[in-house]
Amino acid sequence: MVSLIDSLRSFSSVRVLVLGDLMLDRFTYGKVERISPEAPVPVFQIREQKEMLGGAGNVAANLRSLGCEVSVVGLVGRDADGDLVEQLLRDCGAKPILFRPEGFPTIVKMRLIASGSHLSRVDREEPLPILKKVLPRVGNIFRRLVQQVDIVLLSDYSKGLLTEQTTRIFIDICREQNKKVIVDPKGKDYAKYHGAMLVKPNLKEFVQATGSTLPDPRSDAFLPRLTELAISLIKKHEFGSLIITLGEHGMALVSPDITPPLLRIPTQAKEVYDVSGAGDTSLAVLGAALGCQTPLDSAMRLANIASGLVVAKLGTATVSCEELLQALPKEGKIESAISDTLLLPERKILSLDAAEAVIRRLQHAGKRVGFTNGAFDCCHMGHLRSFMAARKLCDALVVAINSDASVRRLKGETRPVQDEATRSLIVASLEYVDYVIIFDDDTAMNVVQRLRPDVLAKEGYTVDNWPEAQFVQSYGGQVVTLPRVEGYSTSNLVHKMK
C-alpha cells in the first residue's frame, strides 16, 4: 500500500491541466476605529493590499506549491487586471493558456478585512461573451494539452466558461484519451459533468443538485440518506465517485467501488480564520494525489488535511508538501509506538517558505512572533536563558540556526562540534521554542526580511551594530538586547572537553 508520505514525494512528477474560471482576488487589510459622519457606516482605513490568484488560478497556485507541473486554460479581460493574472500565473510557475475576448473585464473580487475579520466584499464581473466563434479553437488546444498531462481538473465557478456545451466537449475529450477528470461543480444541473471520474461538491451544492433535503449532519439518519442520494446521483450521471465536503463535519467519499460505499473522515481544522479558497486547495491536492495513482480514500485524507491547514490562513492561500508532511499522522509500527509529544520536535523544524506561511497565519490571528538566531553548537545555560527570556516576549518563538557550512565560515574548520541536524533537533525539543529554521548565510538578515517578526531578541548586541535590528525597527517591530549569562560559552566548553 502506498503511504501518504510516498504520495507527497511523487507530487513533483505529476502533470496537471486546470481548466476553469479565472479571477483576481484583491485583499485590502486595514482597521475600523470610527463611524462615518456622512452615514452610519464604518470608516475603513487601508493598511496594505495584496493580490492573489482566485478561482481556477488559485487551484493552479496550490498545485505549483505542491510541486506539480501545471498548465492553465481560462479567460481574462484585455485589461491591467488580466495582465496581472497572467503574471501571477507565470510567477508561481504555471503555464497560462489564456483567451482574452473583447469587452470582457477580468473578474475581480475585493475583500475588505479589518482586524482579521471580513468587513465587506466588492465584485466586478460581467457576463461572458458567447464562445461559439472560438469554441473549435479552444477544443483543439484542449485536445493537444490533454495528451501531455496525467489528470485534468475542471474548476467551475459558473462564470460562463464551463457551459453545458463546453463542459461536455472537455469531458468527452478526456474520456477519449483515457484521462482522469475531477470536477469542482457549480449550479444545480450536473448533467453537464456526465462521465467525470470524480465530482467534488460541498454539502450545499450537493443538496441543490439532488433536489432533496438532508437530516441534520449530527443525526444518525444523515449518513444513510447522504449515501442514498449520492449513489443515485452517481448512477444518473455515470460519475466514478463523489467526494462531498461537509465543512466542520469533514468529508465524505461515496463510491460504488468501495465496501461499504461510504467513507467519512472528520475535519482536520483546529482554527478557522478564512475559508476563502479552501475548495480550491482540496481540489488541487486531490488532483495531485490521484495524478500519481494514490488510492481515492488516501487522496481524500490528504485533501482533508490540506483544507484544515488553509482555512487557518487569511486570504486565498496555498499549502506546500512540507506543511502537509508536518501535519501528517506518523506512519509505521515503530513510530506508532512513540507518543505524539516525542515526535513533535521534528515537526517544529521548517523550511523558510513553510515558516513564512506559518508566521503570516499567526500574525493575522493577532499573535506576536519572536525571533532569535545563532549556531547553538553546544546548547548551554546561556542559550537556555536566552530562549526563556525571548519566549516571554512573544506568543511564538522562531529560532534560526546557522548551517554547518555557515558555522565553518564564521568559526573555522574545527566547528561545529555537532552537525546542523543534531543542533536543530536539540533546540526544537525545548518547550520554549516553537519553530526552528536552518539558514546558510553568514547573517540572519535574509531570514528576518522574509519572516518580519514582531520581536527580535538576542544577547550581547546593540542596535547600532545590528543590521537585523535596524530592519525590524523600520517597520515598527520590537528589538530587545537580552542580558548575557556570564561564564558560559561554546568555546569554553570545547576547550574543557579538549
pLDDT tens for residues 223-281?
A: 999 999 999 999 999 999 999 998 878 899 999 888 889 999 887 544 444 445 678 98
Asked, for residue 334, whether it belongs to a domain, the answer is no
Q: Are residues 149 and 212 in the same domain?
A: yes
How far apart are alpha carbons 73 and 410 in whole angstroms?
50
More confident residue, 486 or 197: 197
Tell the residue number behind the cell numbers 538576542, with chain if given: 458
Asked, for residue 70, whether it belongs to a domain, the answer is yes
Long-range contacts at 204-207 (CB < 8 A, ≥ 24 apart): 206/230, 206/233, 206/242, 206/244
Q: What is the mean pLDDT of residues 54-58?
A: 93
Q: Are residues 275 and 377 in the same domain?
A: no
Q: Are residues 272 and 360 in the same domain?
A: no
Q: Which of 288-292, 440-444, 468-472, 488-492 has the lowest mean pLDDT?
A: 488-492
How far apart are alpha carbons 54 and 96 in whole angstroms?
14
One-letter identity of residue 329 = P
CATH of the domain at 374: 3.40.50.620
Asked, for residue 23, whether it belongs to a domain, the answer is yes
Q: Are residues 274 and 389 in the same domain?
A: no
Q: Confidence band (pLDDT; 50, 70, 90) for 341? A: very low
pLDDT at position 480 is: 93
Is 210 strand, coil or helix? helix
Asked, for residue 341, whether it belongs to a domain, the answer is no
pLDDT at position 356 is: 86
> Based on the structure, what is the number of domains in the chain?
2
Q: Are residues 423 and 314 in the same domain?
A: no
Handedness of CA 134, 139, 141, 142 (dihedral sign): positive
Asked, for residue 340, whether it belongs to a domain, the answer is no
E strands in 56-193: 69-75, 95-99, 108-114, 117-124, 151-155, 180-184
How far apart are alpha carbons 91 and 437 in whole angstroms?
25
Q: Are residues 60 and 116 in the same domain?
A: yes
Give the domain extent around 42.
4-329
CATH of the domain at 261: 3.40.1190.20
Q: Are residues 352 and 316 in the same domain?
A: no
Beta bridge partners of 399: 372, 436
- Is the model's pLDDT at 92 over the cut of 80? yes
Q: Look at residues 297, 329, 361 and tell me which one is the last residue of a structural domain.
A: 329
Q: Confidence band (pLDDT; 50, 70, 90) for 312? A: low
- Is the model's pLDDT at 452 over the cut of 90? yes
Q: Which residues make Cβ contacts (< 8 Å) with residue 88, sequence separation at least 6?
A: 24, 51, 52, 53, 57, 61
Query: Where is 264: in which H helix or E strand?
Result: strand 262-265
Residue 355 half-sphere exposure, CB side, CA atoms within 13 Å? 26
CB 168 within 8 A of CB 146: no
Tell the residue number behind the cell numbers 464604518, with chain if given: 42
Q: Confidence band (pLDDT; 50, 70, 90) for 496? A: low
- Is the model's pLDDT at 202 over the cut of 80? yes
pLDDT at position 342 is: 34
- Is the model's pLDDT at 72 over the cut of 90? yes
Q: Are residues 317 and 368 in the same domain?
A: no
pLDDT at position 37 is: 92
Asked, for residue 200, whether it belongs to a domain, the answer is yes
Asked, for residue 398, whether it belongs to a domain, the answer is yes
pLDDT in tens, 351-361: 888 888 778 77
Distance between alpha carbon 397 and the CA centroid of its chain, in Å? 22
Is 50 strand, coil or helix? strand
**Set of cell numbers at residue 146:** 490533454
Q: Are residues 193 and 46 in the same domain?
A: yes
pLDDT at position 397 is: 94
CB 59 within 8 A of CB 283: yes
Q: What is the mean pLDDT of residues 101-108?
A: 90
Q: Are residues 442 and 318 in the same domain?
A: no
Active site amino acids: 280
- Is the model's pLDDT at 479 over the cut of 80? yes
DSSP secondary structure string for all residues of 394-425: -SEEEEEEE-HHHHHHHH-TT--SS-HHHHHH
Q: Are residues 357 and 274 in the same domain?
A: no
One-letter identity of residue 254 = V
pLDDT in tens, 160-195: 889 888 999 999 999 999 999 999 999 888 999 999
Asked, for residue 336, whether it belongs to a domain, the answer is no
Cis ω for the linkage preceding 260 (within 30 of 0): yes
**Set of cell numbers at residue 207:** 443538496
pLDDT at position 467 is: 93
Q: Look at residues 279, 297, 329 and tell me which one is the last residue of a structural domain.
A: 329
**Set of cell numbers at residue 66:** 505542491
Q: Are residues 53 and 8 in the same domain?
A: yes
